[in-house]
Homo-oligomer: A and B are copies of this chain.
Amino acid sequence: MLNGRTPSVKDVAAAAGVSLGTVSNVMNRPAVVSARTRERVERAMSELGFVRNESARQLRAGTSRTLAYVMLDGSNPFFHDVAHGIELAAEDADLSLFICNSNSRADREETHLDRLLQQRVQGILITPVDPEAPHLRALTRRGVPLVIVDRRRADGSCCSVAVDDVHGGRVAVEHLAEQGHQRVAFIGGPDSLGQVRERLQGARAVWAELGRPADHLVYLPTAAMTVAEGRSAGERLAGLPARRRPTAAFCANDLLALGLLQQGIGAGLRVPEELAIVGFDDIEFAAAAAVPLTSVRQPRQELGRAAAQLVLDEATNPTHEHQQLFFTPELVARASSRAR
């Protein structure tokens, strides 16, 4: 009767000598079925190797048991830590997590979102290429629970979870100033990224408050937030005339900082004596660098956890209201910037 097919509730019912509805009850409302029957059904299930068909369940129940996270850059460990936080929350809610990677490409992002819509995921978490993209707004219009992670939308038209980047910029530069640096470089870009702008803004603000001359905070723009760009920024930094050359650099993320560190050490610079470095994110590799990297720590897992909770609220709570959550990042001082 089962010729090669994977067993269905019907087969289980037949094997256990009960009706199909009873089998379903065993799975979904175990309290309502007698212990003896339940046991018989369960034995039949395991004997047949029954595995419930999630598609059928979902079609009938009208609700899926999966969340999705579309991450921006799979080569940056930061996003994997965020994803891990989401997964922990998903697990608690007994949900599966679909992880996609847009690789910073809007078209890939759109393709992924399309598929996720087809899967009827319960909610979507995303670190978008562009928080204002029309295909994102379309999601909200469709009523798909959506949370933007590590970015935000100016108009608050959906939930988001991020850190206070301005504050992050402040503490980084404040720390470098405290260490006695008179000239500091800010490395990051492209400045179409809100984060880059805000971190720079915080840096400049605190620099001004400390009464330092504005042109002693040098902005070295990069084309991306990668190790390679960090190296290239390091070369530009080295090319500056000695008297105007910053003795410290604040990088908009850790990959840049790692690249800068590598370039500097390769060029024979002593870190932090000749070049102090502060990164941002505090990915694991920051602490593992040859000279452990000072970094502005984002609560990576917490970010993910909180985002997942927001999306679940939006998915289940009819009185849900959009929230913009902010975490306050804090400086983790390590050898790459410590007292000279």
**Which 7 pairs from chain A and chain B are nearest by CB?**
A290-B290, A54-B118, A55-B55, A55-B58, A227-B288, A55-B59, A265-B290
Assuming A54-B119, A265-B291, A288-B227, is B64 touching A74 (CB within 8 A)? no
A117 touches B258 (CB 8 A): no
The residues in A between 286 and 323 inclusive whose CB is less than 8 angstroms from any CB of B are 288-292
A262 at the interface (CB under 8 A from B): yes
A138 to B, closest residue via Cβ: B49
Number of interface residues of A (CB under 8 A): 45
Chain B residue nearest to A115 (CB atoms) is: B96
Say whether B284 contacts A262, CB under 8 Å: no
Majority SS at the chain A contact face: helix
Bits for A49-77, please: 1 = Cβ < 8 Å to B, else 0.
Answer: 10111111011000010000000001101
Which A residues are within 8 Å of any B CB, using their own CB?
A: 6, 49, 51-56, 58-59, 64, 74-75, 77, 80, 83-84, 87, 96, 98-99, 101, 114-115, 117-120, 138, 142, 227, 258-259, 261-262, 265-266, 284-285, 288-292, 335
Interfacial chain B residues near A49, Cβ < 8 Å: 138, 142
A290 touches B288 (CB 8 A): no
A159 CA to B138 CA in the complex, in Å? 42
Point out the residue from B55, B118, B284 that lies within 8 Å of A227, measured CB to CB.
B284
Interface pair B101/A87, CB less than 8 Å apart: yes
Which B residues touch A289, using CB under 8 A?
Answer: 262, 289-290
